[in-house]
Amino acid sequence: MVQKVRKAVFPAAGMGTRFLPATKANPKEMLTVVDKPLIQHVVDEARAGGIEHFIFVTGRNKGVIEDHFDRQIELEKTLKERGRQAELDMLTASLPGPGQTSFTRQQEPLGLGHAVWCARDLVGDEPFALLLPDVLVQGNGTGCLAQLQEEYERTGGNVVAVEEVPDDATHHYGIVDIERGAGASHPIRGMVEKPAPGTAPSNLILMGRYLLQPEIFGILEDQQSGAGGEIQITDAMISLLASQKFTAVEYEGKSFDCGSKIGFLTANIAFALEREELREALLEEIGKLT
Ligand code: UTP
């Protein structure tokens, strides 16, 4: 029996440079896709994937994330007095319970790997999920993390979600080298962060969902900065691959990189089109624009 993955880490201490000025005082992770902040979409996906404790790595100007995952007693009281039961139910259904959230600060945005390392004491000595809060997944109902959990229960070790991109886009991402077998999960032979154009071992990218063993923290402790001068989680995973198994899952679904403007705008349209009450009116309005 593998040890259950109960905790998830959400690194949210980046600068959101690509979204300035929107992210000057407001965290990128609080930008809204349809009617929910990005980070709440991702917390919902984690909960659907069996996560019981939610660990947020934040930084300066990110305090509103902590408020978002707290109760708003005055608002709840007013909604109740006004008989707005549907809104009240919606607010409470998506809220982690007392003691199910933890917050720590990265202090300096030294890279994703460093942000994850900042959560080491809160995670402790157990496997954990890592979800990038600026990547949304639209998919097959249960979500991407639930699919990773299914694979993890079968194989244990470290499990990562991968997705195909066009060959000329591989240099933007962490790429996996796999032993392709039948089905959607494949043993990983190697990984590389942002390979030079034309040198990627495959077109399968690490898209932002991981189940990792706690030994990654020991490696991150001494991890030097890599691509872009940042401490990269991919570099630490490459070291861990020497002693532990990694499995890539080509999950069912599609990701949106909401850290980029095109990804964010497309996600807003795609998620709105999924909503019955918005779909027809939105299509009509888009039709008028083109
Ligand atoms: P990104 O690279 O997409 O976020 O990291 P960023 O650095 O905020 O973006 P730009 O390039 O400046 O526009 C993916 C996730 O990792 C977090 C970010 O907050 C984001 O949610 N992150 C990144 C950290 O927590 N710390 C870091 O040092 C870097």
- Look at residue 140 and tell me whether its pLDDT is greater than 80: no
pLDDT band at 227; cut points 50, 70, 90: confident
Q: What is the pLDDT of residue 182?
A: 82
The rounded percent of the chain whose pLDDT value lies above 70 is 100
CA neighbours within 13 Å on the CB side: how many for 27? 25
Mean pLDDT over all residues of the chain? 95
Exposure string for 24-51, b = 16+ CB within 10 A, e = fewer: eebbbbbbebbebbbbbbbbebbbebbb
Instruction: Give the largest Cα separation in the chain, rounded.
Output: 62
Phi, psi angle pair for 70, to nearest 5°? -110, 165
Q: Are 55 and 126 in contact (CB under 8 A)?
A: no
**What residue type is assigned to position 250 of the chain?**
E
Tell me the C-alpha distance between 255 and 60, whole Å.
Answer: 28
Taking alpha carbons only, the member of 270, 192, 202, 201 closest to residue 234 is: 192
Contacts of 97 (CB under 8 A, 6+ apart): none
Residue 177: its H or E element: strand 174-178
pLDDT band at 218; cut points 50, 70, 90: very high
pLDDT band at 258; cut points 50, 70, 90: very high
- Look at residue 270 and tell me whether its pLDDT is greater than 90: yes
Tell me the C-alpha distance between 33 and 41, whole Å.
Answer: 8
Ligand 1 residue neighbourhood (C-beta within 6 Å): 11-18, 28-29, 57, 106, 109-112, 114-115, 132-134, 259
- Look at residue 149 and tell me whether its pLDDT is greater than 90: yes
Q: Tell me how far the alpha carbon of residue 150 lies from the centroid of ligand 1, in angstroms.
A: 28
171 C-beta neighbours (distance < 10 Å), count: 15
Q: What is the pLDDT of residue 40?
A: 97
Taking alpha carbons only, the member of 212, 264, 253 closest to residue 29 is: 264
Q: What is the pLDDT of residue 57?
A: 98
The rounded percent of the chain whose pLDDT value lies above 90 is 91
68 C-beta neighbours (distance < 10 Å), count: 18
pLDDT in tens, 195-215: 999 999 999 999 999 999 999
Q: Tell me how far the alpha carbon of residue 14 lies from the centroid of ligand 1, in angstroms.
A: 4
Q: What is the pLDDT of residue 50?
A: 96
pLDDT in tens, 61-112: 899 999 999 999 999 999 999 999 999 999 988 899 999 999 999 999 999 9
Q: What is the pLDDT of residue 274?
A: 95
pLDDT band at 60; cut points 50, 70, 90: confident
Closest C-alpha residue for ligand 1 atom 3: 259
Q: What is the pLDDT of residue 85?
A: 96
Q: What is the pLDDT of residue 190?
A: 96
CA geometry: angle at 134 spanning 216 and 191, to 5°? 40
Determine the residue of 40, 56, 134 to mutate for testing ligand 1's pocket, defined as the one with the most ligand atoms within 8 A of the Cβ atom. 134
Phi, psi angle pair for 186, to nearest 5°? -140, 135
End-to-end CA distance of the chain: 55
pLDDT band at 141; cut points 50, 70, 90: confident
CA dihedral 236, 239, 240, 244 (to 10 degrees): 150
Q: Tell me how far the alpha carbon of residue 199 lies from the centroid of ligand 1, in angstroms.
A: 25
- Look at residue 229 and tell me whether its pLDDT is greater than 80: yes
